[in-house]
Chain A
Amino acid sequence: MIVERPRDLRVKKILAHGFMLIFLALILFPFFMVLSISFREGNFSVGSIIPQNPTLEHWYLAFGLDYTRADGTVVEPPYPVMLWMWNSIKIGLIAGLGVLAIATISAYAFSRIRIKGKGAMLDGLFLIQMFPTTLALVAIYAIFDALGEVSPILGLNSHTALVLIYLAGVTLHIWTIKGYFDSIDTALDKAAAIDGATPWQTFRYIFLPLAVPIMSVVFVLAFIGFINDYPIASVLIRSEDKMTLAVGSRLYLNEFQYLWGDFAAAAVLSGLPITVVFLIAQRYLVSGLSDGAVKG
């Protein structure tokens, strides 16, 4: 380990790179496949991995455009992918901002303001957070079924209902931001208090500007989490025009209509932006993950 013979080292290097390359080829195989399928004719595999007669048909359909084949037949898009994408982004943005606001304010209070029973509340939040909303789907369905009778805006098949239930996913984010606030020197808020700032003003003018980096991480995390949610959205959303991407994508591959090629193009189109956002954010995200987990 400390003194290595050059030849051994070289063999090791070749082995390591060889392993990495083979492993990567296996791991990345689905990505190449999907890309290739999205340019392939038809919706069934034809026996070759590289498309022989590449076509943009699936891509036209994914963008919601009609496609005219060489023989003159016009193919219409099977599903409104762009609309689903817009629904997902809209819900993700609104719920993400909501979660960010609630989590930041709560985290500030949990970190700095003296509230009775705070420790118990924090422990409670941590324990509750382990119960995924997915498990209470039956109750969530019943709740929004009833709320729908108060106002259809709050009922089933409504985006507002989805945003409302997503707002409950703040617990983990409260912990993350609280960890960040805990690391800020208390001298800052003492100084602010001496100058006569109320706790709200301390939060608004001192903590909020300081928290921008962690807030952007939390926002991206929350946003991606909401876009990826399948169970809750699938229970609450019923009609095709209200669906999010996660719920709608499943329609492509059912037993009665197997649109493998159309799905591939739609998957690349919708997956790419989210993947890029994630890759940009992941650097911060990882440090948050491992720190947040150990900071009590």
Chain B
Amino acid sequence: MTTTPDTPVIEGSPIPRLIIVGAVTIALLFAAFFLYQIAQPIFGVIMLALATGFAIIFGANRYYGARFIFPGVSAVLIFIAFPVVYTIYIGFTNYSSFNLLTYDRTVEVLTSRGSVDPDTEQPFAVARDGDQFRIWLPESGLLSDPVALDGDAEATLLPADDPADLLERRDAIQLRAGLQALTLTTPDGTIIQNASLRTFGTVTPDYVQTGPDTLTRFDGAVLTANHETGFFVDENGDQVPPGWRVGIGWDNFERIFTSEGIRGPMVSIFIWTFVFAIASVVLTFALGLTLAVILQWPHLRFKAVYRILLILPYAVPAFISILVFKGLFNQNFGEINLILEALFGVRPSWFTDGNLARVMVLIVNTWLGYPYMMLLAMGFLQAVPEDHKKAAALEGASAVRVFFTITLPQIIPPFLPLLIASFAFNFNNMVLIFLLTRGLPDIPGTVIPAGETDILASFTYRLAFDNAGQQFGLAGAITLLIFLVVAAISYANFVAMRRAAQKRSGRVSA
């Protein structure tokens, strides 16, 4: 196949190219440095690697060939491979809504907190003075010196009359950043600051940084940073939120395997995920194959019409059809229950009964998935030689027997990689679960949100992004378990594909 050697190719002057490569590299390096500065060293390193790779591959003529694949490979590495690794890393941290920030940001948040002295707190207004502003405190009748309100500033207050040109409240709020950086001194020497949107007053910081890892609270208590739990703790060992992200080793995994409230639902979700994926593949494959066989029957008319109508479920965007089913299955207003009640007098509770909900999920997924299998089966059925079937029929085999002994064994091998891929797809078919049931009904007695129809992927999504404490760390740990399964499936598919390809080329050469 490979015919073009990667000899260096010189196309005109390299100067313009080098200028562009240089500019892009500098932009990437700048982004890398910035990421490093905001305490995201990992992303900084990735960006640095991207910049270096870009400069080398597009700068040097030696790597002419690699230029073609650089964009694709780097996109895959950065946005698929790296997130996979990073998710695993998060699984070993306590990243959650309690430990959301970096250490530096946590210190910043804590030290910026303050208590306002209610005696000195009073409303304020902003008066315009040319390009600058004055702060007017109507209760004590004090007016400040003009200030620019564009950074840290100090000003003294003096008694004065009502200023004429007071800003609207809305405009004053827009100056908030400048107001917050302003310190005012009253004639009696009290120092007051912007305390809220409407008031100024004496603000005492709740926490002052007194050492590299210590904060002193306003009541004199000393807080020390605990880098194992990611919290500041006082002398009694009480944690002061917010916390920061730290690595906690195998703790998340320990929780998964030892905590009864997590392990119980995990096992049930794990089993259901496999049942769901296998059942989906089997049902769609069986239905799709049956339909394909019927459509293949030479005596059937209107094949084209049937075919196009049968693949409609595949053509409609899944997110629309899933939501349509959600509405149709609705227990109280849904049309399916309406019809069932009219015909049989039953009103199944599709969304609150765990087993019925699972049945519904499988019905909807079969509806969504059979056309794909049918289309594939129609392709593979055509490849089965007609004379094999004829020979069997002459021997007196029934049509069913011919199908199971001649046709099926011939189409299974090429079908296998696609079935495995379909299994992998359904194993992670979060969209279906999420849009249809959201994993509900909930499994009773769990400490984390877990539902009867949840599959592993939707379960982790809910752990991380539903309002249940954003447990990114725990979600990451569970994702690692999913990755292991997916990796096994992926490898199996790879092997199956290789075999199918070998068989095919073997048959061609024979």
Instruction: State the A residues within 8 Å of B (CB).
Output: 1-2, 9, 12-13, 16-17, 19-20, 23-24, 27-28, 30-31, 33-34, 37, 44-45, 47, 49, 102-103, 105-106, 108-115, 121, 123, 125-143, 146-147, 149-150, 164-165, 167-168, 170-171, 174, 182, 186, 189-190, 193, 198-200, 202-203, 224, 227-228, 230-231, 234-235, 245-246, 249-250, 252-253, 258, 260, 263-264, 267, 270-271, 274-275, 278-279, 282, 286-287, 289-290, 293-296
Contacts and interface: CB of A to CB of B under 8 A. Distances in A.
A234 B464 CA distance: 13
Contact of A135 (B95, B402, B457): B457
B319 A47 contact: no
Contacts of B402: 1
Interface in B344-398: 367, 375-376, 378-380, 389-390, 393-394
Contact of B79 (A23, A133, A203, A270): A133
Interface string B313-334: 1111111110111111010011
Of the candidates B87, B299, B315, B479, the one having the most CB atoms from chain A within 10 angstroms of its own CB is B315
Given A106-B68, A253-B323, A290-B380, A135 B501 contact: no
A45 B68 contact: no
Contacts, number: 313
B6 interface: yes
B294 A271 contact: no
B149 interface: no
B435 A112 contact: no
Contacts of B490: 127, 130-131
B311 interface: yes
Contacts of B69: 105-106, 109-110, 115, 121
A294 B479 CA distance: 30
B418 A168 contact: no
A103 B4 contact: no
15 contacts: A1-B389, A31-B312, A45-B333, A102-B71, A106-B71, A114-B4, A114-B5, A115-B6, A131-B84, A133-B79, A146-B40, A167-B75, A235-B465, A249-B319, A267-B320
B110 interface: no
Contact of B68 (A24, A109, A282): A109
Contacts of B166: none
Contacts of B500: 293-294
A28 B313 CA distance: 8
A136 B86 contact: yes
Contact of B475 (A13, A130, A138): A138
B327 A290 contact: no
B465 A27 contact: no
Interface string B485-510: 01101110110011011101000000
A13 B486 contact: no
User: Main secondary structure on chain A at its contact with chain B?
Assistant: helix
B31 interface: yes
Given A136-B86, A189-B4, A250-B323, 13 more contacts: A16-B297, A28-B309, A121-B69, A130-B490, A132-B425, A138-B87, A200-B11, A253-B327, A267-B320, A271-B317, A286-B376, A286-B378, A296-B497
Interface in B425-439: 425, 428, 430-431, 434-435
Contact of B73 (A33, A121, A234): A121
User: Main secondary structure on chain B at its contact with chain A?
Assistant: helix
B79 A167 contact: yes
A17 B295 CA distance: 10
Given A24-B306, A131-B483, A131-B486, A125 B6 contact: no
B236 interface: no
A143 B504 CA distance: 43
B120 to A, nearest CB: 36
Given A1-B389, A138-B476, A231-B434, A16 B379 contact: no
B35 A282 contact: no
A140 B84 CA distance: 9
A199 B483 contact: no
